[in-house]
Amino acid sequence: MRTTNSLMQLAHDTADWQAMTSSILFSLSQALAQAPPDLDEIALIIARQFADVWGFPEVSIALYNPQNNTFRYLIDYYDTENVDPSIEDWTGKVVSMSDSPATAQVMETLEPLIVHASNPSTNPAQAKLMEEYDVKTAAFFPLSVKGRFIGRIELETWGEEYPFTPQEINLAIAMASQAAVALENAQLYKTAKYEISERAQAKKALQESQALYHSLVENLPQNIFRKDIDGHITFVNQHYCTTLGKTLEEILGKTDFELYPPELAEKYRKEDLRVIKTQQVFETVSETKLPDKTTTYAQVIKSPLYDSEGNVSGIQGVFWDVTEQIRIDTSRRTAEQRYRSLFQQAHDAVFIADLNGNHKEVNQRAAEMLGYTIEELKQLSFIDVSVETDDSKQVIENLLAGQHLPQYERLFRKKDGAIIPVEITVELVRDADGKPLHIQSVVRDITERKQSELEREALVNALEHRSMLLETAASVSKSVTAILSPDKLLQETVDLIQSRFNYYYVGIFLVNEEKDFAILKAGTGKAGKQMLASEHKLAVGGESMIGWSVAHAKAKIAHDVGEEAVHFENPHLPETRSEMALPLVIHGEAIGAFTVQSIKETAFSEEDITVLQAMADQLAIAIQNPLQRGGRSTTRESLPPLGSRNGAGYPIHANKRSSI
């Protein structure tokens, strides 16, 4: 599609073609000459001129970028009166040269290229593009300056093909030549303007940078200097002057040999030459012995300086005093070494854990105490080795909440599963700002101490128990002397023994006149009352420990009644686990027997049996006296004293235990 009032149409209708084309070229040159040196404005003028001359609906101008072999659409001009405004505008788009075979051909040949959609010899890729955008004729004219390709102009028709004449092609080439020069000049102007702006900005930035550098260098607390390749000082900051106690004028141009002692100057020069030779940064901590025997330290950094051609022109350096820092670091390392030594050699286990209780460090004692290697133990947490896991979690929570925890005891589990008691001192370690760092625990194995405490407790209990036995024996002896009623004496005796030693049950049996039964005469608790009410009795020599003890006039002890063959399972006393039967013997004859029962297995010691048997012997005497007064021939004076043996035999222990 073409517009109906194009200049080219008028030119064909007139006889003077030459005059018309001259007018067109003059008009273009005038428009370009009067245009401002703006690349976009000039591109618009050129596109309009081409559109007015040929009346084509679309004219585009693209400039070539040799750096990446692409071209950018400077303008994609449309006849807005005859073209749908929704058509895609390519202005500003960048296209690879490989994606436009026609433009690539024009760049290579610097000759115009007219492509018709109907031409079977058209490049397939170009034909595909024309078909995609419904282009019937595409005319490409190179933009070149002195044989150098800078871009191209493209004219397109959409409705029908346009047959360019040789005269029209020559006119388009002439117009493209003028356009190329104008575009080149505008581009050069833009570049020059940009470079001028860049230089101005660079100069301003340099000035600002130099001012900033000067301000920074002069205000830094470090000593800064520069030297030329021969070692002459070319620059120092004020701090350097203050350090040396000299003015700037007294320092500039001097060498180190003029400012420092010979040995130091020689050292500094060797460092400078090393930097110049290797062209690498040199860094060291310099140690200096002062006349007063003290030592100072300085951190020194030296680097090479280069001239505009890249050659080493000298060195620049900075140094500052680090004496206090060195001393602090030395003290810190010494303290750390001392702590590490104490940590590893400590008699107690030491655990360092993070704020979640995971072990970060443990000492050798900790590993030995729990049976792990150090690395194994570091894979565990404080909670993993604690038996009371909930308590350990609470400890961590309390520490993080800011609580101070007193020393406490816990149970730890060793690698082999054994449980050991430990004593723990724990604290939350914080940094200088008070922020929690880690949890430190000092743990002591108190197994031996606990064992000693148990043994001491057992000894105290044994002494208290012995004292109780002696007190009870004295109380029974007193009762024997004071109480004349046998029934009252027996009941008070069993009550006294049961209450003093917290036995499950205590009872006394006496043999009847027929000597075939032992009859219960006194019993403790509810069970005792029930059995007394029912006139409870056991056969002498029968299947009971009382019957056996009376029949043999010997004591019988069952530390576990479940394993005792001779034992009467009394329904009134279902919780009995151990029992002893102690005979009441007079002149070798048992007149009755004690029963003492406990809910614990092995509840009776040898001492218990001895003292209780002595009580039984004394009780037998007390019982015998009323019998004597009642007609028996036995006299009290003929009976053995309390605690002596009567010759009737020794106690028999059940469950294969030794005799008393």
Domain 220-326 has CATH 3.20.20.140: no
607's tokens: 């001492």
At residue 421, the 3 state secondary structure works out as strand
Neighbours of 111 (CB within 10 A): 12
Residues 355, 359, 362, 366: what is their CA dihedral angle, to the nearest 10 degrees? 110
Q: Do residues 103 and 74 make contact, with C-beta atoms less than 8 angstroms apart?
A: no
Q: Give the pairing type, strands 578-586 and 556-558.
A: antiparallel
pLDDT at 517: 95
Looking at per-residue pLDDT, the higher value among 109 and 381 belongs to 109
Distance between CA atoms of 384 and 377, rounded to whole angstroms? 10
Q: Which of 228, 233, 274, 222 is nearest to 256 (CA)?
A: 233
Distances (CA, A) of 30 to 33, 304, 447: 5, 60, 111
Distance between CA atoms of 269 and 261, rounded to whole angstroms? 12
At residue 513, the 3 state secondary structure works out as coil
Residue with tokens 């005038």: 30
**Mean pLDDT across the stretch 322-348?**
77
Residue with tokens 């003015």: 247
Give the confidence band of 478 by pLDDT, cuts at 50, 70, 90.
Answer: low
Give the confidence band of 119 by pLDDT, cuts at 50, 70, 90.
Answer: confident
At residue 212, the 3 state secondary structure works out as helix
DSSP string, 171-211: HHHHHHHHHHHHHHHHHHHHHHHHHHHHHHHHHHHHHHHHH
Give me the percent of the chain exceeding a pLDDT of 70.
85
480-653: CATH topology: Beta-Lactamase (3.30.450)
Q: Which of 559, 584, 644 is nearest to 610 (CA)?
A: 644
Mean pLDDT for all residues in the chain: 83
Which helix (DSSP H) or strand (DSSP E) does residue 76 occupy? strand 70-78
At residue 216, the 3 state secondary structure works out as helix
Q: Do residues 350 and 364 make contact, with C-beta atoms less than 8 angstroms apart?
A: no
Q: Which of 152, 121, 136, 134 is nearest to 50 (CA)?
A: 152
For the stretch 638-648, pLDDT in tens is 333 333 333 33
Give a three-class secondary structure readout of 264-307.
Answer: HHHHHHHHHHHHHHHCCCEEEEEEEECCCCCEEEEEEEEEEEEC
Distance between CA atoms of 154 and 73, rounded to whole angstroms? 11
pLDDT at 625: 66
Distance between CA atoms of 377 and 534, rounded to whole angstroms? 68
Neighbours of 579 (CB within 10 A): 29
In 455-560, the DSSP E strands lie at 505-511, 517-523, 537-539, 556-558
7-192: CATH topology: Beta-Lactamase (3.30.450)
529's tokens: 């009352």
Distance between CA atoms of 135 and 161, rounded to whole angstroms? 9
Q: Look up residue 236 and give its amino acid.
A: V
Distance between CA atoms of 564 and 579, rounded to whole angstroms? 10
Give the confidence band of 9 by pLDDT, cuts at 50, 70, 90.
Answer: low
Q: Give the pairing type, strands 408-413 and 419-430.
A: antiparallel
Distances (CA, A) of 161 to 57, 82, 135, 139: 13, 17, 9, 11
Query: φ and ψ at 534, to 5 degrees?
Result: -90, 10
Q: How far is CA 483 from the centre of its chain?
A: 81
Task: Indicate the pTM of the whole model.
Answer: 0.37
Distance between CA atoms of 604 and 188, rounded to whole angstroms? 120
Looking at per-residue pLDDT, the higher value among 17 and 164 belongs to 164
Distance between CA atoms of 87 and 207, rounded to whole angstroms? 51
Tell the CATH superfamily of the 351-445 domain.
Answer: PAS domain (3.30.450.20)
For the stretch 375-413, pLDDT in tens is 998 899 888 888 887 777 888 888 888 888 888 888 999
Give the confidence band of 660 by pLDDT, cuts at 50, 70, 90.
Answer: very low
| 115, β-bridge pairs | 138
Q: Do residues 472 and 497 make contact, with C-beta atoms less than 8 angstroms apart?
A: yes
Neighbours of 103 (CB within 10 A): 22
Radius of gyration of the chain (CA): 60
Lay out the sheet containing 408-413: strands in order across: 359-362, 349-353, 436-445, 419-430, 408-413
Q: Do residues 539 and 509 make contact, with C-beta atoms less than 8 angstroms apart?
A: no
Q: Is the per-residue pLDDT at 581 higher than 90?
A: yes
Residue with tokens 């961590």: 396
| 362, β-bridge pairs | 351
Start and end residues for every CATH 3.30.450.20 domain found in the chain = 220-326, 351-445
Cβ within 8 Å of residue 159, ≥6 positions away: 1, 2, 136
Distances (CA, A) of 54 to 10, 171, 262, 401: 10, 11, 90, 88
Q: Which of 138, 67, 68, 54 is nearest to 103 (CA)?
A: 138
DSSP string, 603-660: ---HHHHHHHHHHHHHHHHHHHHHHHHTT----GGGSPPTT---SS---EESTTPPP-
Start and end residues for every CATH 3.30.450.40 domain found in the chain = 7-192, 480-653
Distance between CA atoms of 618 and 607, rounded to whole angstroms? 17
| 408, β-bridge pairs | 424
Q: Do residues 200 and 192 make contact, with C-beta atoms less than 8 angstroms apart?
A: no
**Mean pLDDT across the stretch 39-59?**
90
Helices (H), 405-485: 447-482
At residue 519, the 3 state secondary structure works out as strand
Query: φ and ψ at 109, to 5 degrees?
Result: -95, -20
Distance between CA atoms of 164 and 156, rounded to whole angstroms? 12
Looking at per-residue pLDDT, the higher value among 591 and 635 belongs to 591
Q: Is the per-residue pLDDT at 633 higher than 70?
A: no
In 102-187, the DSSP E strands lie at 113-116, 137-145, 148-157
For the stretch 507-558, pLDDT in tens is 999 999 999 999 999 999 999 999 999 999 999 988 889 999 999 999 988 8
Give the confidence band of 650 by pLDDT, cuts at 50, 70, 90.
Answer: very low
Looking at per-residue pLDDT, the higher value among 332 and 81 belongs to 332
Residues in the chain: 660
Q: Is the per-residue pLDDT at 105 higher than 50?
A: yes
Distances (CA, A) of 490 to 499, 546, 643: 14, 16, 18
